[in-house]
Amino acid sequence: MLRVAVAGASGYTGFELVRLLCTHPRAKLTMITSRAQKGQRIDEFYPALRAHCDLVFQDPDPVELAARAELVYTALPHQAAMDLVPQLLDRGARVIDLSADYRFIDPAVYESWYQPHKTPELLSEAVYGLPELHREAIRNARLVGNPGCYPTSVILAMAPLLKESLVEPGTIIADSKSGVSGAGRGVSLGVHFCEVQEGFKAYKVAEHRHRPEMEQELSRIAGKPVRITFTPHLVPMTRGILSTVYASLKDGVDLSRVEQAFRSFYQGAPFVRLCGSKDLPTTLQVRGSNYCDLGWRVDEPTRRIIVVSVIDNLTRGASGQAVCNMNLMFGFPENLGLDFPPWQP
Amino acid sequence: MLRVAVAGASGYTGFELVRLLCTHPRAKLTMITSRAQKGQRIDEFYPALRAHCDLVFQDPDPVELAARAELVYTALPHQAAMDLVPQLLDRGARVIDLSADYRFIDPAVYESWYQPHKTPELLSEAVYGLPELHREAIRNARLVGNPGCYPTSVILAMAPLLKESLVEPGTIIADSKSGVSGAGRGVSLGVHFCEVQEGFKAYKVAEHRHRPEMEQELSRIAGKPVRITFTPHLVPMTRGILSTVYASLKDGVDLSRVEQAFRSFYQGAPFVRLCGSKDLPTTLQVRGSNYCDLGWRVDEPTRRIIVVSVIDNLTRGASGQAVCNMNLMFGFPENLGLDFPPWQP
Amino acid sequence: MLRVAVAGASGYTGFELVRLLCTHPRAKLTMITSRAQKGQRIDEFYPALRAHCDLVFQDPDPVELAARAELVYTALPHQAAMDLVPQLLDRGARVIDLSADYRFIDPAVYESWYQPHKTPELLSEAVYGLPELHREAIRNARLVGNPGCYPTSVILAMAPLLKESLVEPGTIIADSKSGVSGAGRGVSLGVHFCEVQEGFKAYKVAEHRHRPEMEQELSRIAGKPVRITFTPHLVPMTRGILSTVYASLKDGVDLSRVEQAFRSFYQGAPFVRLCGSKDLPTTLQVRGSNYCDLGWRVDEPTRRIIVVSVIDNLTRGASGQAVCNMNLMFGFPENLGLDFPPWQP
Amino acid sequence: MLRVAVAGASGYTGFELVRLLCTHPRAKLTMITSRAQKGQRIDEFYPALRAHCDLVFQDPDPVELAARAELVYTALPHQAAMDLVPQLLDRGARVIDLSADYRFIDPAVYESWYQPHKTPELLSEAVYGLPELHREAIRNARLVGNPGCYPTSVILAMAPLLKESLVEPGTIIADSKSGVSGAGRGVSLGVHFCEVQEGFKAYKVAEHRHRPEMEQELSRIAGKPVRITFTPHLVPMTRGILSTVYASLKDGVDLSRVEQAFRSFYQGAPFVRLCGSKDLPTTLQVRGSNYCDLGWRVDEPTRRIIVVSVIDNLTRGASGQAVCNMNLMFGFPENLGLDFPPWQP
């Protein structure tokens, strides 16, 4: 059994990691940390976990973490991760970081959207942990920067089309909608039930920090700089992201060419399910799972393609993808411990 | 008191009309119809109405309707309206039709999206009942085609920009999200609570019948044909539409020019509230009211404007707008009976 | 116009007062207070209020309040009210207090559930503001203690039966369910959307502070001490309380006797609607209104009566009832400004 | 691998069986039936199942079912089950029936609440499938009547107290609240999102058919006839039942005696988790799992105990319990295939 630890296990992302690792056939969770909940048993904090995990939250001590685990998941706020990660690597642990700290190739991009980076030298080593794009690099990575939730949904929607140059890169607009768990477990008026329930809204329009992450990966696929417009929205539901992604088709590209691009790009990928152009996916059909389901339509009069991409923001958009990356890093089957059906209804 | 009737009062739109007319200071509701509920008291069908309205549903007999009411609201399915409306007009009643039957100028457009039209000659007379665009024509109209819910939200978002030619008309994309009440009170799997609750989805992508309605009005404002892409989505909430509308700004257009266009276009309009470019509106802040709240952002790297438009789909998107049209047609203040704050929370 | 002020206008209860007073035909809102929001316009804090109220939050200065208003609503936390209320009364204002501070006759009861009382001498003067029980006393009151939300729903369910001695007082169990707005607008994990949405729960079982309030009023009606069991629950919805109240019928009491008791007790009461024993009420049918709708069933095998009582917790359970009390205190019709239909759907 | 079939696999209960059986390590699903969906693949009907199950719905032919499966789950409407079950047994299959048809010992009770029974002779053989009460009998059963959802939650709440005679049987009141999935996947106004969302309600008060089922089992445990009052309510959420069960404690019974009764009764039961008298459970903490979590409080002034019992109505209240019964019948560990943590959040 692979010994694993979760640093920052008290939030939704951390909990989702614990939930998935509890039942993973090849991993054994040996340590969890949380400064705020230090000393408390996780199954008192999350009664749902009773009979499944009785670990006690500890301080995120890098020596202890590296001693107890071959792999450490860091589910910490941005900046807190980059304090811890280098120490873990130095002590021989491999790391999957769920913050934004190791997602960017270019420190300048990171720094223009976040803050100064303390370990820019690690950025060239870190692998962007989207298996469908970087499967081989992930297998050999010591440090994986686990993708953001919105970027996962948007990049998977556009990658096949940019790869085969079927759309005009300058025309991409991603209109994304997320459930509330994406905002985390912290309290604020923005997640108050009564403010959310009938209060659908857009937020951080044209200024959300997930945009440069999308642009980095889409540019790599396209082989040239891609600038997109990205608008996130908050949906009165707990889990799920649906991204509606628009782009202008190049001349001569038809529906069958589009379909062929998707089929070819995702051949053999266990966690992408193609719905084609008839049955567009809903967030419900992937809830609790690591799937990204994709459907598309062509709007003939305007020659635009509309791709609809759905994921569970906590699973595929964070912790499930992290477990998938672990599977790749340690030579397990890609879907080990993740091969269960979505939660319905 | 103006005597008014509602043909088709058993659905959500009909109920909303009854609710608003119950407390309108100048209108008296004299007759309601519903084939399905014929003979039943409306306050037995909707217990909420006890102590407010005890009318009994009747058959939609045009002779009776025209005898009892100077104004008839027809809240019937498409096609059913066009059977009834001409008979009402012939008998001297004025009509506000909430179906799509009298929204189009060109019978060919109607027929290509709906079905053959039985009274195409009335289309040239009918006025599209969006007060901010056609206030004067509505005052004198005998027949008003009350706008669809999505078109109301999208047209109001784009009208000032097209009017002053600030955006490229060919670049407009409307990504709209609606609460479930927009689907009406009829039962289907699509409105089953358990399918909706965590099941955000797109539907009728690039093929929704509200698109030609938007294009007609946007083309009139632009003075040339406008083709848009329109994607509706279903949000797990009861009321509200939020439309996120994208367009490319023309060269040299800046934020202050945009703001000026909105301020100028909506000057004196009691039911449009401008939020500017800082505080984008949410559906909650207009719930139960006739307001359309508008906010916008400019995405500088891509030179796109993003307008966020929110309405209550049953009030501004249907029955409240119809009451507003009545106010105009009969010389009442535009906001009479509609000047209450939105429902919070 | 009666000049009124709201001390503590930034929470849900305060907002609901402002909303109702905005459209009240005989009251003019002249001042609102909030320490936390001091200096901010209420329509910036609640964008829904734009075009309806542009008052600025001020400090709750009693001199200013009494100078500007003949009636002050105090929607403050327990204890804060009793600091302010005596000063308002001294300066000639009449007061409706929405906290628990002036609901109890016996200071000892208040003190055993809350904290020491600073103005116990005012308790004998204060009137418990449930119009159906104390209508005449309210008319003449200088100080009204506005009832709690749960007590309103439970007392109205049991009053007719205790008044006519149809049930065994010692057998009363009130199982109540409330929407989340009852917890107020403050942030906490308990109102986080993701914790609420599928997380129905009981709380403060057998120890909620609304129980002694119910017992006080039920004892007064019964003419002897009544002890009840009370269990509140949190429902994943925004507004509404439904109380299911159980009691054993005395020998010989049948359904028609029960019905007669309800009809007789609530004769002429504009805000109680009796549904009888067939159609039990739902929270939706009173939402946004001041109604309490009541239905009941007799469980013959066990000889228990089950009364189902629904109110909107913010309207009938707080601010609507307070406005109704104002109407009584100032000689307006009891339902003035409150005679609109509930919000549907 | 044990070959199993599901007759009636298109509803929520049937789907939940398929979901659980897909990942069960010792069972292989060989056949599913649905008259309405005959010929369709289940993963087209439920896109969530893509990559997990591609069986095609067939007619519920007993010959075919018995040939293909050693165990058949019948998830059919009442009455339809009793047409099929005898034929399956005759052909050597064992059966777990999820309808009410084989839950009752006394045909007269069944017939007074449902309809005439066609195979009353099987009732003496059928075992009531609540493992905590009838574990040994289930192991040897040929036919298991799987309990109703409400009875599961209520019986588990009261069994320890009646077993040890700690409460007065005549004082039991069960106030239960269920998510909407309990109503099934069929469409009706009662499950329309807009009617449910803010419409908490009681239904079938004092006349729900789950009451005699509770009374049968509680009477068996108490050793004498028990009559209870039972009130179900509909909660605006998808999954979960919370039952608040009241009873008067016998003289001298204190909290520690109560706790001891619960601990003793559920010793070794893998699917009951005791929360004690401090932390009462919520529906969220068992969602998607087979757990029943129990907490309790004593209301000293009235000497009543209040037990709060939560389950997932589709899992513990139906299909999970059925899989657990299969485990017992075929000698697998009781929690095989069911030992995953609940879905959070």
3-state secondary structure chain D: CEEEEEECCCCHHHHHHHHHHHCCCCEEEEEEECCCCCCCEHHHHCHHHCCCCCCEEECCCHHHHHHHCCEEEECCCCCHHHHHHHHHHHCCCEEEECCCCCCCCCHHHHHHHCCCCCCHHHCCCCEECCHHHHHHHHHCCCEEECCCHHHHHHHHHHHHHHHCCCECHHHCEEEEEECHHHHCCCCCHHHEHHHHCCCCEECCCCCCCHHHHHHHHHHHHHCCCCCCEEEEEECCCCCCEEEEEEEEECCCCCHHHHHHHHHHHCCCCCCEEEEECCCCCEHHHHCCCCCEEEEEEEEHHHCEEEEEEEECCCHHHHHHHHHHHHHHHCCCCCCCCCCCCCCCC
Q: Give the residue-averaged pLDDT of B38-56.
A: 97
Q: How far apart are CA B323 and CA B321, in angstroms?
A: 5
Which structure tokens are listed for D185?
């996947």
Whether the ipTM is more than 0.85: the answer is: yes
Q: Do A200 and B297 lie within an 8 Å CB cutoff?
A: no
Per-residue pLDDT band for D211 (boundaries 50, 70, 90) equals very high
- The residues on A that touch C, with CB distances below 8 Å, are 12, 180-181, 185, 187-189, 191-194, 196-198, 236-238
Q: Say which DSSP state C342 is in.
A: P
Residue B256 pLDDT: 97
Nearest-CA distance D19 → chain A (Å): 7
Spans in chain A with pLDDT lower than 50: none
Nearest to C249 by CA among C159, C182, C162, C331: C162
Nearest to A98 by CA among A42, A30, A152: A152
Cross-strand pairs, D308: D244, D295
Which structure tokens are listed for D99?
């309808």
Give catalytic residues of D, as residue numbers.
149
Cross-strand pairs, C299: C304
Which of C192, C287, C312 to substitute to test the interface with A, most A CBs within 10 Å? C192
Residue whose pair of structure tokens reads 């075919």 in the numeric block: D64
Q: Select the residue of B46, B51, B284 nearest C344 (Cβ to Cβ).
A: B46
Would you call B149 a catalytic residue per the annotation?
yes
Q: Do C195 and D345 lie within an 8 Å CB cutoff?
A: yes
User: Which element (helix H / strand E) includes A298?
Assistant: strand A292-299
Residue A10 pLDDT: 96
The number of residues making up chain C comes to 345
Q: How far apart are CA A286 and CA A288, in angstroms?
A: 6
Residue D336 pLDDT: 98
Nearest to D9 by CA among D313, D325, D319: D319
Q: Do D22 and A48 lie within an 8 Å CB cutoff?
A: no
- The residues on B that touch C, with CB distances below 8 Å, are 12, 15, 19, 22-23, 46-53, 181, 197, 238-239, 270, 273, 275, 279, 281, 284-289, 291, 293, 339-345
Closest chain B residue to A206 measured between Cα atoms? Answer: B299
Peptide bond into D341 cis (omega under 30): no
Q: Say which DSSP state C146 is in.
A: P
Axis crossing angle, helix A320-329 with helix A12-22, rounded to the nearest 10: 50
Q: How many CB atoms lie within 10 A of CB C23?
A: 14
Which residues of chain D make contact with B314, given a CB cutoff of 8 A? none
Q: What is the mean pLDDT of each run of 10 residues along chain C (345 residues)?
A: 97 97 98 97 97 97 98 95 97 98 97 96 97 98 98 98 98 98 97 98 96 98 98 98 98 97 98 96 98 98 98 98 98 98 96
What is the dihedral sign for C-alpha D91, D92, D97, D100? positive
Listed in sequence order, the DSSP H helices in C140-294 are 149-163, 193-196, 211-222, 255-265
**Per-domain residue ranges of chain B:** 2-147+316-329, 150-313
Task: Select A150-313's CATH number: 3.10.129.10, 3.40.50.2300, 3.30.43.10, 3.30.360.10.
Answer: 3.30.360.10
Q: Do A191 and C196 lie within an 8 Å CB cutoff?
A: no
Q: How far apart are CA D4 and CA D329, in angstroms?
A: 13
Which of A16, A310, A344 to substitute to test the interface with D, most D CBs within 10 Å? A344
Residue A26 pLDDT: 98
pTM above 0.95, yes or no: yes
Closest chain B residue to A208 measured between Cα atoms? Answer: B299
Nearest-CA distance A148 → chain D (Å): 19
Angle at D294 between CA D288 and CA D295, to 5 degrees: 135
Which structure tokens are listed for B76?
């019937």
Three-class DSSP labels, C226-251:
CCCEEEEEECCCCCCEEEEEEEEECC
Q: Do C229 and D299 lie within an 8 Å CB cutoff?
A: yes
Backbone angles phi, psi at C250, to 5 degrees: -70, 160
Taking a C-beta distance cutoff of 8 angstroms, is the pair C233, D306 a contact?
Answer: no
User: Which element (helix H / strand E) includes A248?
Assistant: strand A241-248
Nearest to D246 by CA among C302, C167, C161, C155: C302
Taking a C-beta distance cutoff of 8 angstroms, is the pair A231, A202 a contact?
Answer: yes
Closest chain B residue to D192 measured between Cα atoms? Answer: B192
Query: Which residues does A243 contact at the CB level (< 8 Å), separation at least 6?
Result: A150, A153, A154, A157, A174, A175, A176, A177, A307, A308, A309, A310
Q: Give the torsion through C-alpha atoms of B326, B328, B334, B336, to 10 deg.
A: -40
Q: What is the pLDDT of residues B102-125, one digit of tens each?
A: 999 999 999 999 999 999 999 999
Q: Select the residue of C189, C193, C237 nearest A238 (Cβ to Cβ).
A: C193
Which of A197, A198, A284, A313 to substitute to test the interface with C, most C CBs within 10 Å? A197
Residue D270 pLDDT: 98
Which structure tokens are listed for D271?
């699917």
Peptide bond into C232 cis (omega under 30): no
Which of D45, D197, D235 to substitute to test the interface with B, most B CBs within 10 Å? D197
Q: How far apart are CA C276 and CA C280, in angstroms?
A: 7
Q: How far apart are CA C15 and CA B340, in angstroms?
A: 14
Which structure tokens are listed for D139?
């192991």
Backbone angles phi, psi at D245, to 5 degrees: -115, 125
Q: Select the residue of A188, A236, A237 nearest C187 (Cβ to Cβ).
A: A188
The radius of gyration computed from the CA coordinates of chain B, to the nearest angstrom, equals 20
What DSSP string describes B194-250?
HHHTT--EE-STTT-THHHHHHHHHHHHHTS----EEEEEE-SSSS-EEEEEEEEBP
Taking a C-beta distance cutoff of 8 angstroms, is the pair C101, C126 a contact?
Answer: no
Contact partners for chain C, using 3 or more CB pairs closer than 8 A, are A, B, D
Q: Select the residue of A51, A288, A289 nearest D273 (Cβ to Cβ).
A: A51
Q: What is the pLDDT of residues B140-164, one digit of tens each?
A: 999 999 999 999 999 999 999 999 9
Residue B240 pLDDT: 98
Peptide bond into A345 cis (omega under 30): yes
Nearest-CA distance B343 → chain C (Å): 8
Q: Do D302 and C228 lie within an 8 Å CB cutoff?
A: yes
Q: Which CATH class is domain C2-147+316-329?
A: alpha beta
